[in-house]
Structure 1
């Protein structure tokens, strides 16, 4: 959950207060992130997009390599015959790329996300069977004919890429499936050289494994972020004279952020008293002053949040306490947060009023590293209300302070 509600009891007596995809080359990615309040910078993005393509067909290989795939319906067609000793390059963007996503509910609120291509697979289809193209007359498995056709085989990735399948030959003799895992420092999986002339060839699909990560997950605000990143062809994905059916592939990201706000209250009860204490107040008869109380609490996370106030009894835009006969007086509540906590205008939070209407504290955020200093809730019954309180009465009330990361 991303909302933390604290119940505080205010209680006392006047003489001594006490506590109380529409497009073929577009992929819609559904993902979520839930930073740990104790270590928010280590949060991982969880990809909830249904798996398609290679990892749906070969789940065991993908599970052991900790990858997942999705299919882009992009075909690659040879522009003509591939000559004997002709090379097919395979250039892929494996390095991390940055792009921005925007919060759906907060104008101007953005976050930086990184994406990289971690694996690529396809199924090629030949104009003739591999046996016919190689001219072999012996009888071997379909895989062996494909091995003979290429140098190296499509089953053998060239370092720093690694193969996930050792035999992807289809019984029809023309089709072959392959998938290569790509390390971060790779820009190519190495060319394939045709040992024999190939009149025509098509890559019928493009299966992609990809990774996502947030640059500053602790800065993310609860809710949804949306954004996209586009790879262009052939600038980013280059397969030589194999011509793509689409000039780009786009990842549309819908990122659900589920932040938790971790707050520890020093108590759930607040004692209200005159500034000098009850004995001094009684001795000197100084009734024309406020009744005050402070409550310490600690924020143990760095997620942005908002504060909300609800009351057992309310009076105008604040809470109230009452005695046994339901005589009611207001209690004004404010909050102070240590720097570098600021509001949405980057202003410090010092005795900022906490109102039932919720105005003023809708977006609290860190502008640096948390210091671990305590925060304070301030409670005050103003002098005019104190003068109206009836002697020998106990005044009580309950307030609820909510810390909510779903801004």
Structure 2
């Protein structure tokens, strides 16, 4: 049976060979980015399309979630029709799926990824009298299966499926007809792969650039390699293929407070009338300050104090310089939680950048309500009202930091 598409395709391949073959290296960069929206909680692959998806852009193997890259492996392959040793046929072995890590360029933060090869493609140019190209066939064996081919008996571009990407076995094909043992020399170019990249949850990653690397060795003519080309190989294919990964994470963080909310006036719950009418001293003075927050990633919150106390910020008596301690807490929408998965409801805000409150974005939060809660610490209000008419002031700066 012949390939589905048998249109003849002509190509010119030049192999320049010196007296000594020099081992080279190939590098390819794979990029992905996270740009949050109300409907997007995942990475988008931004790698420029390479390899077979340039030729077959409408194939299912080239959809939004599937990509191809060319690996820069070019060589000449001598193959023999129906050779008993599959290494002497048109042959390729591919590496198993790889777990690896990317690291933030700004910190030691790391995250795990998985890279798996799902498809193989190449352009093979070459045939012999009475024997077509070993690529021009639907008979694909081993760990791959035929998807399509384009070309004719002398040359063909192939696309094979890798049947078990996690643990692939070698793939091989042979010419459809001709004498058993018939020799064909094929120039192999456009060696490309389709791949699946399993990325981490970007909501759990701090904003920034993350980089990682995988290196595969290339083996042939009896030399082992993560990528194997079989026997009868010449033309100086690279000795290694390095995949560089760059992940760009940009989070949305906006905190909007009402107008004139830079001044927080503390009062007893329910107001001052009870105390002014001879009631007991208030237990505390309080004020809640609402805000609306948009956030899509890990977040750190802390305070900086004009008048620090032993464990928090304080406000100072403008007459006597005495300081009353404050309790300052925060409440956040349900999509933002503590590291242990609990809701952030009236959770105390620590002072100082060195020990912030760390919270995580479980789901993207867009313009949802939160609040800061200010209150005098236990016992402070009773002391403050002993001096009616005195004023207490102090600056408290609450920092929401997406990078810390």
How does the TM-score come out when normalised to structure 2? 0.62
Candidates 298, 314, 328, aligned match of 1:304: 298
Candidates 151, 160, 163, aligned match of 1:167: 151
> Matches of 1:239 and 1:99 in 2, distance apart?
25
SS of corresponding position for 1:59: coil
Tell me: higher relative CO, structure 1 or 2? Use CA pairs within 8 A at least 6 residues apart. 1
The answer to whether the 8 A contact 2:140-2:173 is kept is no
The aligned length equals 340
SS of corresponding position for 2:92: coil
Structure 1 position 378 matched with structure 2 position 373: yes
Query: Partner of 2:238 in structure 1?
Result: 246
Query: Partner of 1:97 in structure 2?
Result: 98
> Matches of 2:247 and 2:279 in 1, distance apart?
61
Query: Partner of 1:85 in structure 2?
Result: 82
SS of corresponding position for 1:134: coil
Candidates 210, 216, 219, aligned match of 2:195: 210
- Per-residue deviation at 1:183? 5.1
> Matches of 1:288 and 1:58 in 2, distance apart?
76
The answer to whether the 8 A contact 2:139-2:174 is kept is no
Distance 1:224 1:333, change over 3 A: farther
The answer to whether the 8 A contact 1:52-1:69 is kept is yes
The answer to whether the 8 A contact 1:156-1:166 is kept is no
> Matches of 2:349 and 2:63 in 1, distance apart?
53
> Matches of 2:268 and 2:251 in 1, distance apart?
39
Query: Partner of 1:177 in structure 2?
Result: 157
SS of corresponding position for 1:28: strand
The answer to whether the 8 A contact 1:61-1:164 is kept is no
> Matches of 2:101 and 2:145 in 1, distance apart?
29
Pairing 1:55-134 to 2, within 5 Å after superposition: 55-61=53-59, 65-66=63-64, 67-78=66-77, 81-86=78-83, 87-93=89-95, 96-107=97-108, 109-126=109-126, 130=127, 133-134=128-129
The answer to whether the 8 A contact 2:25-2:240 is kept is no
> Matches of 2:34 and 2:278 in 1, distance apart?
59
SS of corresponding position for 2:227: coil
- Per-residue deviation at 1:226? 0.8
Q: Structure 1, unaligned stretches of length 5 or more?
A: 1-22, 136-147, 322-328
- Per-residue deviation at 1:237? 2.3
Distance 1:334 1:180, change over 3 A: farther
Query: Partner of 2:276 in structure 1?
Result: 282
Structure 1 position 192 matched with structure 2 position 182: no
- Per-residue deviation at 1:63? 7.8
The answer to whether the 8 A contact 2:92-2:171 is kept is yes
Structure 1 position 219 matched with structure 2 position 199: no
> Matches of 1:207 and 1:96 in 2, distance apart?
16
> Matches of 1:39 and 1:33 in 2, distance apart?
8
How does the TM-score come out when normalised to structure 1? 0.62
Structure 1 position 48 matched with structure 2 position 46: yes
The answer to whether the 8 A contact 2:300-2:356 is kept is yes
User: Over residues 138-170 of structure 1, what are the superposed CA-to-partner deviations in whole Å (9 max), with x where a residue is unaligned?
Assistant: xxxxxxxxxx5256734665696342543377x
SS of corresponding position for 2:226: coil
Task: Answer 1 or 2: which has greater helix percent.
Answer: 1
Query: Partner of 2:86 in structure 1?
Result: none
SS of corresponding position for 1:82: strand
Distance 1:396 1:75, change over 3 A: same
Q: In angstroms, what is the RMSD of aligned CA positions?
A: 5.1
The answer to whether the 8 A contact 2:61-2:194 is kept is no
- Per-residue deviation at 1:254? 1.0
